[in-house]
A and B are shown apart, each in its own frame.
Chain A
Amino acid sequence: MSKKLLLEHIDVEGIRTYDVYRKQGGYQAVEKALKGMSSDDVVEEVKKSGLRGRGGAGFPTGMKWSFLAKPDGVPRHLLCNADESEPGTFKDRYLMEKIPHLLIEGMILSSYALGANQSYIYIRGEYMFVMRIVEQAIAEAYANGWLGKNIMGSGFDLDLAITPGAGAYICGEETALIESLEGKRGNPRMKPPFPAVKGLWQRPTVVNNVETIAAVVPIIQHGGDAYAAIGIGRSTGTKLISASGNINKPGVYEIELGLPVEEFIYSEEYCGGIKNGKRLKALIPGGSSVPVLPHYLICKTAAGEPRLMSYESLADGGFATGSMLGSGGFIVYDEDQCIVRNTWNFSRFYHHESCGQCSPCREGTGWMEKVLHRIEEGHGTMEDIDLLWDIQRKIEGNTICPLGDAAAWPVAAAIRHFREEFEWHINEPKLSQERNYGLVTEKTFDAQPA
Chain B
Amino acid sequence: MTAVMNESRQFTPELLEEVNRIVSLFPEGKQKSALIRVLHLAQAHFGHLDTEAMDYVARLLHLNPIEVYEVATFYSMYDTKPVGKVKLEVCRTGPCMIEGAERIIAHIEKRLGIKDGETTADGLFTLKSVECLGACGYAPMLQAGESFHEHLTEEKVDALIEEYRANPVANYMGLK
Give A residues with C-beta under 8 Å from B. Answer: 84-90, 92-93, 118, 124-129, 132, 159, 161, 163-169, 180-186, 201, 242-246, 250-252, 284, 288, 329, 331, 333, 337, 341-342, 345-346, 349, 352-353
Query: A88 with B136: in contact, given A129-B147, A166-B40, A342-B97 (CB under 8 Å)?
Result: yes
- Listed from nearest, the 10 A-B pairs whose CB atoms lie closest are A166-B75, A167-B76, A183-B32, A167-B77, A250-B137, A183-B35, A244-B136, A87-B132, A161-B25, A185-B74
Out of B27, B74, B93, B148, name the residue touching A129 (CB < 8 Å): B148
Report yes or no: B94 in contact with A166, Cβ–Cβ below 8 A.
Answer: no
**A203 to nearest B CB, angstroms?**
10
Out of A90, A159, A337, A346, name the residue touching B136 (CB < 8 Å): A90
**Residues on the B chain within 8 Å of A341, using CB:** 97
Report yes or no: A168 in contact with B137, Cβ–Cβ below 8 A.
Answer: no
- In chain B, positions 2-52 with a C-beta closer than 8 Å to chain A are 25, 27, 30, 32-37, 39-40
The docked-state distance in angstroms from the alpha carbon of A126 to that of B71 is: 16
The docked-state distance in angstroms from the alpha carbon of A129 to that of B144 is: 12
Give B residues with C-beta under 8 Å from A. Answer: 25, 27, 30, 32-37, 39-40, 63, 67, 70-71, 74-78, 92-95, 97-99, 130-139, 143, 146-148, 173, 176
Report yes or no: A166 in contact with B134, Cβ–Cβ below 8 A.
Answer: no
Report yes or no: B137 in contact with A242, Cβ–Cβ below 8 A.
Answer: yes
**A257 to nearest B CB, angstroms?**
20
Report yes or no: A252 in contact with B137, Cβ–Cβ below 8 A.
Answer: yes
**Residues on the A chain within 8 Å of B37, using CB:** 163-164
**Residues on the B chain within 8 Å of A201, using CB:** 27, 30
Which of A168, A251, A252, A345 has the most chain B CB atoms inside 10 A of its CB? A345
A-B contact count (CB 8 A): 142
Residue of B nearest to A356 (CB): B74
Out of B95, B97, B134, name the residue touching A93 (CB < 8 Å): B134
**A141 to nearest B CB, angstroms?**
15
**Residues on the B chain within 8 Å of A89, using CB:** 132, 134, 136
Report yes or no: B71 in contact with A184, Cβ–Cβ below 8 A.
Answer: yes
Report yes or no: B136 in contact with A169, Cβ–Cβ below 8 A.
Answer: no
Report yes or no: A333 in contact with B98, Cβ–Cβ below 8 A.
Answer: yes
Residue of A nearest to B134 (CB): A90
**A346 to nearest B CB, angstroms?**
6
- Can you identify 9 A-B contacts, CB atoms within 8 angstroms? A93-B135, A167-B76, A168-B75, A168-B76, A242-B136, A250-B138, A288-B94, A331-B95, A345-B94
The docked-state distance in angstroms from the alpha carbon of A169 to that of B75 is: 10
Report yes or no: B74 in contact with A124, Cβ–Cβ below 8 A.
Answer: no
Report yes or no: B32 in contact with A337, Cβ–Cβ below 8 A.
Answer: no
**Residues on the A chain within 8 Å of B36, using CB:** 125, 163-166, 180, 183
Report yes or no: A118 in contact with B27, Cβ–Cβ below 8 A.
Answer: yes
Residue of B nearest to A180 (CB): B36
The docked-state distance in angstroms from the alpha carbon of A87 to that of B146 is: 20
**Residues on the B chain within 8 Å of A252, using CB:** 137
Residue of B nearest to A333 (CB): B98
The docked-state distance in angstroms from the alpha carbon of A129 to that of B71 is: 22
**Residues on the B chain within 8 Å of A84, using CB:** 134
Query: A126 with B74: in contact, given A163-B36, A242-B136, A352-B131 (CB under 8 Å)?
Result: no
Report yes or no: A166 in contact with B70, Cβ–Cβ below 8 A.
Answer: no
Report yes or no: B75 in contact with A167, Cβ–Cβ below 8 A.
Answer: yes
Residue of A nearest to B36 (CB): A166
**Residues on the A chain within 8 Å of B137, using CB:** 90, 242-244, 250-252
**Residues on the A chain within 8 Å of B146, using CB:** 128-129, 132
Query: A183 with B71: in contact, given A93-B134, A127-B134 (CB under 8 Å)?
Result: yes
Known contacts A88-B136, A166-B40, A185-B71; 11 additional CB pairs below 8 A are A126-B134, A129-B146, A163-B25, A164-B36, A165-B36, A166-B77, A167-B76, A167-B77, A284-B94, A349-B131, A353-B131
Out of A126, A245, A329, name the residue touching B133 (CB < 8 Å): A126
Out of A167, A182, A244, A345, name the residue touching B32 (CB < 8 Å): A182
